[in-house]
Structure 1
Amino acid sequence: MSDRPVTLTTSGPPETVLDAEPDALLQALDAAMDQPEADRRAAVAAVVATQPRFLDGWARLGQLGRDPMERYAAFRVGYHRGLDRLRANGWRGSGYVRWAHPENRGFLRALHGLSVTAGAIGEDDEAERCALFLKQLDPTWPPADLD
């Protein structure tokens, strides 16, 4: 037994909020998402091509994928880019990353999409791991306004 004191905090695990995306990029994504359905995927891809670290762009591209593998690939890129961005914003592998902060939604949307798509292609262990990770990042998951 150690004689070192144990320090307890009432604040709980740390919370990370990603840096905000530039307004112009968010507006470009909104405009791309407003395109007719036949043109929407290409319009979103064009936005992502201008800023390959744009997490919500990857998540939206995943949602618009033409088949399960294309969706899976886009969601996985968004997830990994998101981990990079989280680390750059002080996240150290644990703590909250909540949906309540709009800046976090691209990453969480990509992680959710990866979970769903992994399950759809039979990668059940990945689907379960991602679903658990979402609950660890935001214990209130899933949000009512998930789209």
Structure 2
Amino acid sequence: MEEPFVLGGTDDARWVVHPPQDPHGDGYVYRVRAELHDDGMSAVTVATVFRGFAGSASTLAEFVAGLAADWQGWDGSRDWRSADHELTLDARHDGRRHVSLGVTLRAPGPSWDRSAWSARAVFVLEAGEEMTRFAADLAHWLSTQASSGN
């Protein structure tokens, strides 16, 4: 069994991303189980992601790498979302040294469903070395998953 990617610690908020699965065997559409744990809250969803295209602008790895590359800051929020919005990330730079990375999980299915739920946790990362390390670790983990045939 492959190890999941984890942002955060065991006692703090943590975001867990399990290895992507290719249900159609096409190397294009993947399902990713994601978890959030924070202050007694636990949430799990399965997100649909694309290997080479992630909706608006980039893959998850490219999105995070872009945040690390712009360590000196940016205005407003930068956002990434899975194909059906079950997993979304939003990032804000404080103009000094930190990036607040919000991770939101949503119930699979239509957003108008009254039984739908969402859960959110925010991770604060140092904009330089810590963000760069996070981006490199995530990119390496994702490329390892791709080469293992998942």
Give the TM-score normalised by structure 1: 0.28
Higher helix share: 1
Q: Which has the higher contact order (CA 8 A, sep 6+)?
A: 1
Greater C-alpha Rg: 1
Higher strand share: 2
